[in-house]
Amino acid sequence: MKNSDSSRITIKDIAKALNVSASTVSRVLSNHPAISESTRKLVNDKVKEMGFSIDPIASSFRSKKTKSIGVICPRIDIDFHSKVISGIEDYAYNNGYQITIFQSQDNYKKEKEIASMLETSLAAGLIICPGLQTHKYDHLKKFKKANIPLVVYDRSTDGLKTNKVMINDFEASFKATEHLIKSGCKRIGHISGDQSVSIFKARLQGYSEALIQNGLPIEEKLIKETKNLSYEEGLISANELANTNERIDGLVCANDYTAAAAIKVFKKFNYNIPEEISIIGFSNYPISKIVDPQLSTIDDNAYHMGKVASKLLIQQIEDSDFERLDYQEILIKTELIIRDSTKK
């Protein structure tokens, strides 16, 4: 059961129909300047008439160039990553590129495997958020050697000199903490994430620095580190904080899940929010508008981060070779969102 008409229309067919050479048709299709307006129109019309479209595989094969961007992230179904990828895709699509997505599951071995595959062919460039287990970057350095543009997003990669797009976590956390201080909080706790991860370390530092610059003491017992910043861990940490001798009147959380948990706990302890305690989250997840009171938070501009990463990568793909020797580190601005869980 063959399909008899599987014959694809090719450049040659167009050429034959017009009595011109295949090269001429090819030149028209790739907007070569040395083509007269008349033949250009002739060819374009015939292309439409015959419903021709170029075979991108053949084109890539011959030119050794693709329009495909590889994206590696730990998981797609994490709110943050899905937003970043959305931004990457939007920008890429509007500039004629496609994105091929892989999930490393935070598995170093798998990440290397995917990277190696992408490097040996296929990709015009790579955008990657390295996994939590990733502390060596040889698999990424290979891209530089192979002259394939590379952009890292979100996670810092110490020792790897490459393009990076990140949130300014320090500044964002500083901003959040200062917001509490300015509204009158004197004793502010922090629920932090895994301190072996750079972005969570930066958030703790931003919190600390804001206290210091405003003449407030840093009390270790008010800083609760969690492993995954989960809602459940948030409940535990908040409970501990609610049970300290001196009451706290402010709480900076490293994400919205732990902040939502803190709201629940402090309400149970009969604190009025925000009158008696201000609570602020981080990320601006959907839940932040649904908890009661609505959660003040930091918007991480994940979508925009994706757009910027995509733009940076495509610039490098399309620039001349030697430009790639340089790299940029771009910090994405975050936004303080004030709702009802903090005093104005």
For residue 103, the cross-strand partners are 73
40 close to 20: Cβ distance less than 8 angstroms: no
166 close to 331: Cβ distance less than 8 angstroms: yes
CB of 39 or CB of 86, closer to DNA: 39
Q: Provide the pairing of β-strand 297-299 with 335-337.
A: antiparallel
Judged by CB under 7 A, which stretch of 36-44, 99-107, 140-148, 270-278 contacts DNA? 36-44
Instruction: Give the E-state strand segments of the chain in sequence order.
Output: 68-73, 98-103, 125-128, 150-153, 163-167, 188-192, 223-225, 250-253, 278-280, 297-299, 329-332, 335-337
Candidates 1, 3, 5, 19: give the one binding DNA (CB under 7 A): 19
CB of 54 or CB of 101, closer to DNA: 54
- The binder of 27, among a second copy, DNA, none, by C-beta within 5 to 8 A per type, is DNA
Give the binding site for a second copy (CB under 8 A). 1-3, 53, 55-58, 60-61, 66, 68, 75-79, 81-83, 85-86, 89-90, 93, 98-103, 120-122, 147, 231, 257, 260-261, 264, 285-287, 289-292, 303, 321-322
- Residues 59-88 as x/- pattern, contact with DNA by CB under 7 A: x-xxx-------------------------
Candidates 1, 2, 5, 34: give the one binding DNA (CB under 7 A): 34
First to last CA, the chain: 73
Using rule CB under 7 A, residue 29 touches DNA: yes
Size (the chain), residues: 344
Look at residues 271, 220, 269, 225 and name the one whose alpha carbon lies nearest to residue 249. Answer: 271
Using rule CB under 7 A, residue 145 touches DNA: no
CB of 11 or CB of 199, closer to DNA: 11
Hunting for tokens 């496609």 — which residue is that? Answer: 98
Residue ranges in contact with DNA by CB under 7 A: 8, 10-12, 19-24, 26-27, 29-30, 32-36, 38-40, 54-55, 58-59, 61-63
